[in-house]
Amino acid sequence: MSDNIISHNYIKKTSLVKLDKLAREVSYDYDIEFDGKNTFSIDNIPEFPKDFKVGLIVGASGSGKSLILKKFFGRPKILKWNREKSIVSHFKSKKIAEKKLFAVGLNSIKTWLRPYHVLSNGEKFRASLARQLKSNMVVDEFTSVIDRTVAKSACNSMSKYIKKNKLSGIVFATCHYDIIEWIQPTWVYDVSTNELYSGRWLQRPEIEIRIYEGDHSSWKIFREHHYLSGEILKSSKVFLAFFNDILVGLIAVCTLPSGTVKHAWREHRIVILPDYQGFGIGIRLSEKIAELYVSKGHRYFAKTSHRKLGVYRNQSDKWLATSSNGSTNSAPNKFFKHWKTSNGRLCFSHEFIYKKVIKNDSKQKTFL
């Protein structure tokens, strides 16, 4: 049984247990005065802002985060997953699924088609977060059971979605402090120090990605994570992206044979490993390699069926849509007759037009 007392700035929780033989022995052996009553209290809780986008409650395990979250902001939602359905089938529509799954950095389309119970911890976290993503959502133990890289990348991606879609009233509770700068909350309440402070001044940490020219042997690491095919052209050139000396991405480019377009190259494959999706590495890697080829006097094209990447290029002033952009045909025009895609699948097609002078060497460095 329990007896809880709650006010706007004070919480007291009391629970009673039977004082049986084993409990008496333990309390006696360790010299603890115990009568079966456990009392936990939090004093001087500050008044939380009424209008905000994201609030973050942090503190050590057992400090009272969950109690504060439930009593002041509501109980977290318990999700049910159908083992016979893919995770994408748990959304109301394809459009909603795309927006929310991309929003949490779950960019691997093949993962969308798998049932929840076979996913990794990081994929389960992102999928669950996507289903809950809306104003006034409440999440406890946020990022507690996942790799810290996944936690940061998911927070980074989700933060952009929240701002873009003007969501509000979202509150997370976590024992991890390393996500604060990545989620950029309106306010942060540290239960351990009883301090409430603004998170508006926080800046997202800078990510340094190093790019090296590689070979086709690395493709085996990325093959299963590409959304279309496990094949790679032997004639393509491969570049590898490293984050903190860890291989996280691959991009392959090849020539674009055409009787009309001279000195042209095209993006052939680009893959970012799942744990690092959400940082924006794929987009920056694509543009860095495009800059390299354009700086050498080449033309550079890219075609994709990946909607997030295609929509980004449609809105970017660095990319110019070609005449086949948005086509569903296998060979839209004479420029791309050697560059086929499946009939009926929407494709985005662009030429990179942004010119920038960069060093002509095998090692590139870019900051995100």
pLDDT digits (tens, 9 = 90+) for 220-246: 999 888 876 668 999 999 999 999 899
Interior/surface letters 238-250, b for 16+ CB within 10 angstroms, e for the rest: bbbbebeeebbbb
Are residues 74 and 194 part of one domain? yes
Are residues 353 and 226 part of one domain? yes
Are residues 260 and 361 part of one domain? yes
Are residues 84 and 12 part of one domain? no
CATH code of the domain in which 282 resides: 3.40.630.30
Instruction: State the total domains in the chain.
Output: 3
Q: Tens of pLDDT along 334-368?
A: 444 444 444 556 789 999 998 764 444 445 555 44
Are residues 75 and 25 part of one domain? no
Q: Taking residues 198-210, what's their average pLDDT?
A: 88
Are residues 104 and 22 part of one domain? no
Q: Taking residues 67-82, what's their average pLDDT?
A: 93
Q: Tens of pLDDT along 84-116?
A: 999 999 999 999 999 999 999 999 999 999 999
pTM for the full predicted model: 0.80
Mean pLDDT for all residues in the chain: 87
Are residues 356 and 212 part of one domain? yes
Catalogue the E-assigned strands of the chain.
2-6, 11-16, 37-42, 54-58, 138-139, 170-174, 187-190, 195-198, 208-214, 237-243, 246-255, 264-272, 299-304, 319-321, 348-352, 363-367
321 inside domain: yes
136 inside domain: yes
338 inside domain: no
- Residue 272 structural domain: 208-333+344-367
339 inside domain: no
Are residues 329 and 248 part of one domain? yes
311 inside domain: yes
Are residues 54 and 22 part of one domain? no
Q: What is the pLDDT of residue 10?
A: 75
Whole-number Å distance between alpha carbons of 282 and 105: 11
Are residues 290 and 176 part of one domain? no
Q: Tens of pLDDT along 31-62?
A: 998 888 888 888 889 999 999 999 999 999 88
Q: What confidence tier does 324 reach under pLDDT thresholds 50, 70, 90?
A: confident
CATH code of the domain in which 107 resides: 3.40.50.300
Q: Taking residues 128-155, what's their average pLDDT?
A: 95
Are residues 323 and 285 part of one domain? yes
189 inside domain: yes
| % of the chain surpassing 90 pLDDT | 67
Are residues 41 and 53 part of one domain? no
Q: Taking residues 312-316, what's their average pLDDT?
A: 94
Q: What is the pLDDT of residue 258?
A: 66
